[in-house]
Amino acid sequence: MGQYVIERGRHFVAIKPFASRYEWEVHILPLQHRSDFMEITDEERDDLARVLKRAMSRLDAVIGGAQYNFFLHSIPHNNEFANCHDSYHWHLEICPRTSIPTGFELGSGLFVSTISPEQAAARLRAVELD
């Protein structure tokens, strides 16, 4: 398992991004290229649910009680993007709100993290799940 991987299923992987906006941000991505979330199969949906549940259990065990924002990025459904399927990879972003952006973040658009992505991934991976 790679240093940024925190959970892996048959069809999906949960990673701690190297450059994320939030300290404990996690992304879930399909292992095979897919541009459109609406095209997942029943088997893939079940695997996504399993990976998401386990990733959330890991986050709750490490940071507990946080508020979460979820962002599902999928290719838009209109003619303008009809030729973009090869270049777009859908994914789910989980962004726990463990701190409040302050003047530096709000003014610069740059986010400060107090933990490296490698350390965060290691702590999330270390959580014992059933």
Q: With cut-offs at 50, 70 and 90, classify the pLDDT of residue 1.
A: low
What is the C-alpha separation between 125 and 26, in angstroms, rounded? Answer: 12
| pLDDT, tens digit (0-9, with 9 covering 90-100), for 47-69 | 999 999 999 999 999 998 899 99
Q: Is the whole-model pTM more than 0.85?
A: yes
pLDDT of 114 reads 80
| pLDDT, tens digit (0-9, with 9 covering 90-100), for 75-109 | 888 787 778 777 789 999 999 988 777 777 778 87
pLDDT of 102 reads 75
| Contact present, 94 and 25 (Cβ < 8 Å) | yes
Query: How do 67-73 and 91-97 pair as beta strands?
Result: antiparallel
Instruction: Write the burial class of residue 42 (CB in 10 Å: 0-12 exposed, 13-18 middle, 19+ buried).
Output: exposed
DSSP letter, residue 39: G
